[in-house]
Amino acid sequence: MRKLFCTSLILAINVLLVSLSYAADIQVITSGAFAEALKDLAPEYEKQSPNKVMISYGSSMGAAPDSIPSRLARGEHFDVLILAAPALDDFVKSGTVQSGTKLDLVASVMGAVVKAGAPKPDISTMNGLKLALLNAKSVAYSASASGVYLSTELFPKMGISEQMNKTARKIYSERVASVVARGDADLGFQQVSELLPIPGVDFIGELPPEAQKTVLFSAGITSDTQNLAASKDLIKYLASNKAVATIQKAGLKPVLPAIPW
């Protein structure tokens, strides 16, 4: 009996040592749309894996010092990038992200907020959205994917670019809702998942279908990663049914793609 116990104990220790030997600190940088979901998903992943998730944050695009392109250009190292799919595609083309490792995780839509307690304009129609934009003394929007769409596509389409040049501004290195919460803008636009977690604002709704821009956010593994297997394991978890409830709670729509590896 003692011999059997000792043998079982040795086997258990060996299994533990093997697990620990494969444990990795996965360096992940995510843009804002997936940030809140990842904060909650990382500890859940760590419960069923020896790996640890080390999270950094930055916008998908732009020249702000803390944007993902700027941080990579400075030589900062990450294993996994999570950002707007078009921006990730650029990193695949440049060789920064390994070809064949891109995986779409979520679809994200845009919405708007006002300061808590302020009147809520109706933006459920194109006319209502246009009136809200023109009546606001100041408008804030993201310097990342959603803001680029607003300033280069939606405002021109609505014929209000000239007016928006006077009252609207891009927000760098900060959540748009934080700017609205402290009263520095009357109306703020960003991905819904980036607006909902911020206190001091009231969410007034998603953009109407005619104005909406759904953006896919995807994960990819960098070409210089030393943790390929662990990085793949994390992405598989983020793209699985296990992550669905947390992703939906964060205001995102899970994609649940087929896993290519």
Residues 2 and 67: their CA atoms lie apart, in Å, by 59
- Predicted model pTM: 0.84
Residue 115: inside a domain, yes or no? yes
Decide if 107 contacts 192 (C-beta within 8 A).
no
Query: Are 114 and 102 in a shared domain?
Result: no
Q: How many structural domains is the chain composed of? A: 2
**Predicted pLDDT at 246:** 98
Separation between Cα atoms, residue 151 and residue 146, nearest integer Å:
9
One domain for residues 74 and 53: yes
User: Which of 260, 218, 258 is CA-nearest to residue 108?
Assistant: 218
H-helix segments, the chain: 2-21, 32-47, 68-73, 85-94, 126-135, 145-149, 155-158, 161-167, 176-181, 192-195, 228-238, 244-249
**Domain assignment of residue 138, yes or no:** yes
Same domain, residue pair 189 and 71: no
Q: Is residue 2 part of a domain?
A: no
Domain that holds residue 173: 110-206
118 in any annotated domain: yes
Structural domain contains residue 9: no
Q: Tell me if 93 is assigned to some domain.
A: yes
Residue 7 scores a pLDDT above 70: no
CATH at 121: 3.40.190.10
Same domain, 131 and 176: yes
User: Hunting for tokens 């900060």 — which residue is that?
Assistant: 174
Alpha carbon distance 188, 223 (integer Å): 36
- Residues 248, 180: one domain? no
Q: 118 with 193, same domain?
A: yes
In a domain, 18, yes or no: no
Using one digit for the tens of pLDDT, what is the confidence trace for 65-86? 999 999 999 999 999 999 999 9
Could you tell me the pLDDT band of residue 18, with boundaries at 50, 70 and 90?
A: very low
**How confident is the model over 96-134, as pLDDT tens digits?**
999 999 999 999 999 999 999 999 999 999 999 999 999
